[in-house]
């Protein structure tokens, strides 16, 4: 299978590329810079979709980038890097003389309203109560291609845990020094997924010829996970204490009031349709996932 991947050079994109190539698929990236097995977004908009069997979009500015303060400019970059890239790929698919068979978009569980008690499946409503839920709604709407023969799959990802990037990369050093602990109350739900399972779900969606619609990209046990359980299990995996709670005001001061809820609030999300589709998780439990990451 020839797969075109937007955002293929990022944290998740690199892992997906490795998995797809290990399974015998050809991968071409859409990125800001061209090169071997790459096309740029400008080339895609100008010349159309290269011949491929499937398209995946993973592109998106890192919302929790610690080096960027929240501003109107950063907010526009967050939206553009997701919605506009998705529109570009969707238009290229719609205009292609030989459209691909599959079109997979990875968004986020921010679509669902944060709640300490509610549980969400792929059929649950959401998408219109704060900046991030509206972002996901716009993002997914941008992927719609009426009448397209391409199977459309949307994977709503939880917090991605893995080596060399994602949330864990910002947490390891404080925890290694014994300075780690829960954020805020620690009671907030923590919807997570190991990077190998996220890319596994995307690959599963590409290779399953009848699969379409929404899939929740979260671990089966993540609905029972919390900020405190993450801190405790990460401390255990590292052999370090995890008792130094970071107060909510400090998180808001560091990230701003707009981004802090991403860490101080959460959703209990279940991968109901993902499991029904036949996907089998490599890391369904948090202790094993963290042990693999920090080993």
Structure tokens at 32: 């800001």
The low-confidence residues of the chain, meaning pLDDT below 70, are none
Spans of all domains in the chain: 2-294
Please classify residue 128 by burial: count the beta carbons closer than 10 Å to its beta carbon, then call 0-12 exposed, 13-18 middle and 19+ buried: exposed
Q: What local confidence, expressed as pLDDT, does residue 231 receive?
A: 94
Q: What count of other Cβ atoms lies within 10 Å of the Cβ of residue 257?
A: 9
Q: What local confidence, expressed as pLDDT, does residue 174 receive?
A: 85
pLDDT digits (tens, 9 = 90+) for 233-242: 999 999 998 8
Architecture of domain 2-294: 3-Layer(aba) Sandwich (3.40)
Q: What local confidence, expressed as pLDDT, does residue 52 receive?
A: 97
Non-local CB neighbours of 160 within 8 Å, separated by 6+ positions: 11, 12, 166, 167, 192, 193, 194, 195, 198
Q: What local confidence, expressed as pLDDT, does residue 37 receive?
A: 81
Enumerate long-range contacts of 31-40, CB under 8 Å, 24 or more apart.
31/7, 39/4
Q: What local confidence, expressed as pLDDT, does residue 150 receive?
A: 94
How far is residue 259's CA from residue 69's CA, in Å, rounded to a whole number? 10
pLDDT digits (tens, 9 = 90+) for 157-167: 999 999 888 88
Q: What local confidence, expressed as pLDDT, does residue 111 receive?
A: 96
How far is residue 182's CA from residue 235's CA, in Å, rounded to a whole number? 11
Non-local CB neighbours of 197 within 8 Å, separated by 6+ positions: 217, 219, 281, 282, 283
Q: What local confidence, expressed as pLDDT, does residue 146 receive?
A: 92
Q: What local confidence, expressed as pLDDT, does residue 167 receive?
A: 81
Q: In sequence order, what DSSP letters do the residues of the chain get, joined into one string? A: -EEEEETTTSHHHHHHHHHHHHTT-EEEEEESS-BTTEEEHHHHHHH-PPS-SEEEE-----TT-TT----HHHHHHHHIIIIIHHHHHHHHHHH-SS--SEEEEEEEGGGSPP-SS-EE-TT---S-SSHHHHHHHHHHHHT--TT-SSEEEEEEE-EEEETTEHHHHHHHHHHHTT----BTTS-SB--EEEHHHHHHHHHHHHH-TT--EEEEES-TTGGG-BHHHHHHHHHHHHT------B-HHHHHHHH-TTTTHHHH---EE--HHHHHTT---S--SHHHHHHHHH-
Structure tokens at 216: 């929740």
How far is residue 65's CA from residue 237's CA, in Å, rounded to a whole number? 25
Q: What local confidence, expressed as pLDDT, does residue 220 receive?
A: 97
Non-local CB neighbours of 73 within 8 Å, separated by 6+ positions: none
Structure tokens at 35: 């090169």
């Amino acid at each position: 299978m020839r797969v075109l991947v937007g955002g293929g050079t990022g944290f998740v994109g690199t892992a997906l590329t490795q998995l797809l190539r290990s399974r015998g698929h050809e991968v071409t990236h859409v990125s800001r810079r061209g090169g071997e097995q790459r096309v740029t977004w400008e080339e895609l908009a100008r010349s159309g979709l290269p011949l491929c069997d499937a398209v995946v979009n993973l592109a998106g500015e890192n919302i929790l980038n610690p080096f960027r303060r929240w501003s109107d400019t950063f907010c526009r970059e967050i939206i553009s890097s997701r919605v506009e890239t998705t529109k570009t790929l969707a238009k290229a698919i719609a205009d292609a003389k030989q459209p691909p068979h599959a079109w997979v978009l990875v968004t986020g569980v921010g679509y669902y309203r944060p709640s300490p008690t509610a549980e969400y499946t792929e059929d649950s409503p959401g998408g219109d109560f704060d900046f991030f839920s509206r972002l996901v709604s716009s993002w997914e709407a941008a992927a719609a291609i009426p009448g397209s023969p391409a199977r459309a799959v949307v994977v709503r990802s939880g917090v991605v845990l893995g080596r060399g990037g994602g949330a864990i990369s910002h947490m390891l050093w404080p925890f290694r020094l014994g300075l780690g602990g829960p954020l805020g109350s620690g009671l907030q739900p923590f919807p997570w997924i190991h990077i190998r399972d996220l890319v596994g779900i995307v690959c599963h969606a590409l290779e399953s010829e009848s699969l379409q619609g929404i899939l929740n990209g979260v671990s089966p046990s993540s609905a029972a996970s919390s900020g405190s359980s993450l801190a405790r299990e990460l401390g255990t995996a590292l052999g370090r204490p995890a008792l130094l709670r970071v107060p909510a005001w400090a998180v808001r001061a560091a990230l701003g009031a707009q981004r802090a809820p991403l860490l101080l609030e959460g959703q209990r999300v279940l991968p109901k349709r993902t499991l029904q589709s036949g996907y089998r998780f490599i890391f369904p439990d948090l202790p094993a996932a963290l042990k693999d990451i920090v080993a």
